Structure 1
């Protein structure tokens, strides 16, 4: 059961409902292809259907869900083209952010990234793959934040949020966590060397591996989903 949404009087209900549903989709609490029913969501989170209807419309405009004829709203499945596009854009944005951060605050950048990697390795040793998701986000957040550009930070955050609903599922496998940490180490090494081309290559290599992990997981999940649907139809 989805948790109820707590809305204070000072909050805008429409904004809170939208952010709440968006966060649940991004974190995979609603699976790809899953239908979204206004009535059920209304009962689950404790608000009327009007702000839910508006939130669903906005989520469709954002590309997180789609409205199918005779079906209604469903969570959009993973798109290979979308994942590739996001990774390509992230490569451009984060390479620039890393270069600027390295130029403006290299010592602080190196120190914070080293601390993040150490914490990530500790989580890996503990087998806490789920906890790594937040540390993975923090690693890239550090680079964007220390670039000193508010606009670049906003761009990086937007792209990472779109990637989150794919990444948060694929990262659960321990071998994916290990590869992600190795990718972070490669980025850190390039930043230490101060070579702009090496930094861009390290980031692009890391994001290319992330794309492969996501698509591998997506294909497996689509197969599992199809198998579950077939089994349910056979049993009905």
Structure 2
């Protein structure tokens, strides 16, 4: 039980710290140190050090030559790479989802679309992004492309960080909502070519929006 509790404490610390970076509560390029982070999270140094090490390995935290820590910056190069990779992988996932989707899957995706639309109309930026990611995650699940899903999962939280940042510093326009609708329509129609193209176009459109926001803050 003690071992389990320790493991839980380590994992909770890691997830809590990562979430603060994803949500920009800890801002890009912000200097951080163990003492402040321990106080912020209400944890001891041991689980914190392990969390920091994991987040360094994932490039959310950067250890500078002088040994000090800072939150990773948001860069044009990284956002371009992440969204370009997503457009290729998720385009093919949407194609496979159009082939595999059952009536029950279409019902579930339609419910997700209602959540996306509702949060967008009410200016609920955080949930708009979260529901959008759930929609994409569910398409990965029904596509049956396990290796694609694994690769995407490695990018997911970095991508989510950029999307959250866009929401904090402006709005996703109505186009994003319409694009999700069109993807769902292509999948419901079992139009594999249409679903792939609709998804690629959607992610490259999201890239354009993200680039507009990031260009203003990229570190010199």
TM-score interval (norm. to shorter): 0.7 to 0.9
Specify the SS of the correspondent of 2:73: coil
Query: What is the match of residue 32 of structure 2?
Result: 36
SS at match of 1:171: helix
Q: Which residue matches 1:72?
A: 68
Normalised TM-score (structure 1) = 0.80
What is the match of residue 11 of structure 2? 15
Q: Distance in 2 between matches of 1:205 and 1:149?
A: 20
SS in 1 for 2:31: coil
Q: Residues 43, 126 of structure 1: CA spacing in aligned structure 2 closer, same or farther, 3 A cutoff? A: closer
Q: Distance in 1 between matches of 2:88 and 2:62?
A: 28
**Structure 1 residue 136, shift from structure 2 partner:** 0.9
Runs of 5+ in structure 2 lacking a partner? none
Please say if 1:168 is aligned against 2:154: no
Q: Does 1:108 align with 2:108?
A: no
Question: Deviation of residue 47 (structure 1)?
Answer: 2.4
Match of 1:47 among 34, 43, 50: 43
Secondary structure of 1:21's partner?
Answer: helix
Aligned length: 218
> CA RMSD for the aligned pairs?
2.6
Who is 1:24 aligned against? 20
Structure 1 residues 78 and 173: alpha-carbon distance in aligned structure 2, compared to 1, 3 A threshold: closer
Aligned to 2:121: 125
Counterpart secondary structure, 2:70 = strand
User: For structure 1, which runs of at least 5 residues remain unmatched after alignment?
Assistant: 1-7, 227-236
1:27-52 alpha-carbon deviations (Å, 9 max, x no partner):
22211011111011112223222332
Distance 1:18 1:121 in 2: 32
Between the aligned partners of 1:118 and 1:90, the Cα distance in structure 2 is: 24
